[in-house]
């Protein structure tokens, strides 16, 4: 039996959605220590898995050329809330099944065949080694308005990775609202946004990345980092306004505005399609950040959950050991 566990991730946005530039997408985000997906795999003659991941298990077994697997899920990431449940779960299952059968795989190589990494490389990058990740995007000539078929791409390269300072914390406010977009609906929304994307927004984001985000994470400055990624989130929202009903999808805007007024929060925004709202803070402001999260939900008249989590500076754990990213597919 093999156990694999990994935390979720935050997706702060893309660096470019305009077809006028040579590289498309280019995502940035951070690995989280919690919440987690954790499961165990045992070789089996057929697939025995909870309904929620049965199709995932079938896809993985087909890719690895094995008859079946028995999967036991200990923890699950909330689905379609902006924490990367799809990619993290798919790669966790793939890693667990491969290890149970003593088959070496490189998640970066198998991810495209599993339908992952077609736009953002953050999920794969954080699964591999954690930290803050900026990926290099895809060639625009290959990724126009339509995504290639599963398997017909490579996961975006990691352009920059930095350790998340130990004292940094991330507030997670998850309102009880409709889940974020996924599947065909997400594909259609991204396609529509790309067709209208203003290249000038990408130019502004490029400046923010090089002059604010990267220097802040390198220096361990949570205040400047939070303000910078929040601004990138707002600029991304300008691309998505017609698709999600505003710079942020409702009711995220109210929560972001409320958190942004708290001295305990250095920057707030929407992770991916939401509805998760993040706040960048640190251990010294933990109590104030939690209070701000609860106050934001109360002010908006919405139920939800509030958590404060650390960053994660390692990849998935396989049987308690760090993922071996040098492994090659058998």
- The CA-atom distances, in angstroms, between 89 and each of 59, 222, 260 are 12, 29, 31
pLDDT tens string 60-92: 999 999 999 999 999 999 999 999 999 999 999
For residues 291-319, give the mean pLDDT.
97
State the CATH class of domain 2-322. Answer: alpha beta
Interior/surface letters 308-318, b for 16+ CB within 10 angstroms, e for the rest = bbbbbbbbbbb
Domain ranges of the chain: 2-322
pLDDT tens string 152-177: 789 999 999 999 999 999 999 999 99
pTM of the model: 0.94
Q: Is the pLDDT of residue 146 over 70?
A: no
Q: Is the pLDDT of residue 328 over 90?
A: no
In contact, 130 and 5? CB cutoff 8 Å: no
In contact, 25 and 137? CB cutoff 8 Å: yes
In contact, 91 and 127? CB cutoff 8 Å: yes
């Amino acid at each position: 039996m093999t156990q694999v566990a990994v935390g979720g991730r935050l997706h702060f946005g893309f660096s470019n959605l305009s077809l006028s530039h040579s590289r498309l997408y280019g995502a940035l985000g951070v690995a989280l220590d919690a919440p987690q997906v954790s499961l165990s795999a045992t070789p089996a003659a057929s697939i025995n898995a909870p309904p929620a991941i049965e199709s995932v298990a079938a896809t993985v077994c087909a890719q690895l050329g094995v008859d079946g697997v028995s999967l036991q899920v200990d923890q699950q990431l909330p689905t379609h809330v902006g924490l990367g449940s799809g990619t993290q779960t798919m790669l966790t299952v793939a890693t667990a099944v491969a290890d149970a059968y003593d088959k070496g795989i490189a998640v970066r190589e198998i991810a495209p065949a599993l339908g992952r990494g077609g736009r953002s490389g953050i999920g794969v990058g954080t699964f591999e080694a954690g930290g803050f990740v900026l990926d290099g995007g895809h060639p625009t000539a290959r990724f126009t308005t339509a995504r290639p078929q599963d398997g017909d791409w490579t996961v975006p390269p990691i352009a920059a990775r930095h350790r998340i300072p130990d004292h940094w914390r991330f507030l997670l406010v998850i309102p009880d609202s409709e889940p974020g977009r996924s599947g065909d609906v997400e594909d259609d929304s991204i396609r529509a946004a790309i067709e209208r994307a203003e290249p000038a927004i990408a130019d502004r984001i490029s400046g923010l990345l090089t002059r604010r985000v990267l220097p802040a994470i390198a220096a361990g400055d949570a205040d400047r980092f939070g303000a910078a990624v929040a601004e990138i989130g707002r600029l991304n929202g300008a691309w998505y306004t017609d698709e999600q009903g505003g710079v942020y999808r409702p009711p995220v805007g109210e929560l972001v505005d409320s958190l942004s007024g708290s001295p305990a929060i250095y920057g707030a925004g929407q992770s991916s399609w939401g509805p998760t709202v993040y706040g960048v803070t640190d251990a010294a402001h933990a109590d104030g950040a939690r209070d701000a999260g609860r106050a934001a939900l109360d002010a908006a008249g919405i139920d939800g959950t509030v958590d404060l989590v650390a960053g994660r500076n390692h990849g998935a754990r396989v049987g308690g050991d760090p993922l071996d990213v040098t492994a090659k597919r058998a």
